[in-house]
Amino acid sequence: MSSADAAALGRSGVRAFEGSRGRGRFLRSELRLVLTRRRNLALLAVLAAGPVLIGLAVKVSAPDASRGEGPPFLTSITQNGLFLAFTSMVVALPVFLPLAVAVVSGESVAGEANLGTLRYLLTTPVDRTRLLVVKYVSIVLYGALATAVVAAVGVLTGAALFPVGDVTLLSGTTVSFAEGLLRTLLVAGYVAAALAAVAAVGLLVSTLTEVPIAAMSATVVIVVVLEILDQVPQLDFLDPWLLPHDWLAFGDLLRDPVALDGVGHGLLVQGSYVTVFLALAWARMTSKDVTS
């Protein structure tokens, strides 16, 4: 290798390193913006309050498991506080968690356009694909954080209000508390994956308008419509491909052995939504005439 080749290779390596550093700074800046916005913090606070309210309600008027009162998760809370985290997921996943992600994703691109900063961002050395990737990653991380908040507060509140110890799974098998915590992490991971699909839908909608509230509302409406379609018996043939259909399949992670059919299919559908909607968002973003 000649000295000229070595110098060219060195310059190429420096540019790649600086590019990676630039991407890291951009992502950190976007995350800081997302996590310091008051509305997003308020949503996290509301999500954190959910497990506390559920725990207090069950503590005050605990359902009688011997009489079959209440859903399985609710009756299990009084026997082991760890189930408060799972119950909180069941309550938060259909509406509250998607709503939080819809707010962040709807504002991601539309908010920049509305404030007039999108054009400025694209005039700096930030290409549109990189901008879209950073926006999506920040939304997914926020969704993961929201899920972690619900799970963590559920575990802590359950431990404070109810007995904890060995966990009796839905299949009747008893596992250690440590394995129960591991199952909680798996459930949280599955829920975060479901929210990643909602994030992709919201990001696409956000590229279609310059009004953030319209993008947020449209994303929520899409999720709610899909949930309604999932409940219509005449449309059963569509159920396997509707985004919310397998959201509560994480109950299979609380069995021994773990039943992977529902969870696996859910991940496949969520991955498909992510792929399709991100591709559409990229096509829209790379061809969009940015005027503000």
Rounded distance, CA 261 to CA 191, Å? Answer: 16
pLDDT cut 70: percent of the chain above it: 82
Sign, Cα dihedral of 152, 153, 154, 159: positive
Lowest mean pLDDT among 106-120, 136-150, 191-205, 213-227: 106-120
Pairing of strands 174-175, 167-168: antiparallel
User: Does the pLDDT value for residue 165 go beyond 60?
Assistant: yes
For residue 278, give both structure tokens: 């991100």
Q: Tell me, what's the pLDDT at 271?
A: 96
Asked whether the beta carbons of 261 and 184 are under 8 A apart, the reply is no
∠ CA(139), CA(15), CA(12), 5° rounding? 135
pLDDT score, position 17: 35
Q: What's residue 11's pLDDT?
A: 41
Flag whether pLDDT at 2 surpasses 90: no
Categorize the per-residue pLDDT at 73 as very low, low, confident or very high, splitting at 50, 70 and 90. Answer: low
The conformational region for residue 211 under phi > 0 = left, psi -120 to 50 = alpha, else beta, is: beta
Task: Extract the tokens encoding 213.
Answer: 């509230």
For residues 90-104, give the mean pLDDT: 95
Per DSSP, 169 falls in state: -
Q: From its phi and psi, is residue 127 left (phi > 0), alpha (psi between -120 and 50) or beta?
A: beta
pLDDT tens digits for 4-17?
443 433 343 333 33
pLDDT in tens, 248-279: 999 899 988 888 889 999 999 999 999 999 99
Residue 13 per-residue DSSP state? H
Q: Which residues contact 67 (CB under 8 A, 6 or more apart)?
A: none
- In this structure, of 14-28, 99-113, 211-225, the range with the lowest mean pLDDT score is 14-28
pLDDT of residue 89: 94
Report how far residue 161's alpha carbon sits from residue 229's, in angstroms, rounded to the nearest whole number: 38
For the chain, the 3-state helix, strand and coil shares in percent, each to the nearest 5, are 80, 0, 20
* Max mean pLDDT range (116-120, 137-141, 173-177, 233-237): 137-141
Looking at every residue in the chain, the average pLDDT score rounds to 85
Predicted pLDDT of residue 116: 63
Kindly report, residue by residue over 175-228, the tens digit of the pLDDT: 999 999 999 999 999 999 999 999 999 999 999 988 999 999 999 999 999 999
- Per-residue pLDDT at 72: 57
Encoded amino acid at 135, one letter = K
What does pTM read for this prediction? 0.86
The letter for the amino acid at 163 is P
Question: Quick one: pLDDT at residue 260?
Answer: 86
Distance in angstroms (rounded) separating the CA atoms of residues 263 and 221: 25
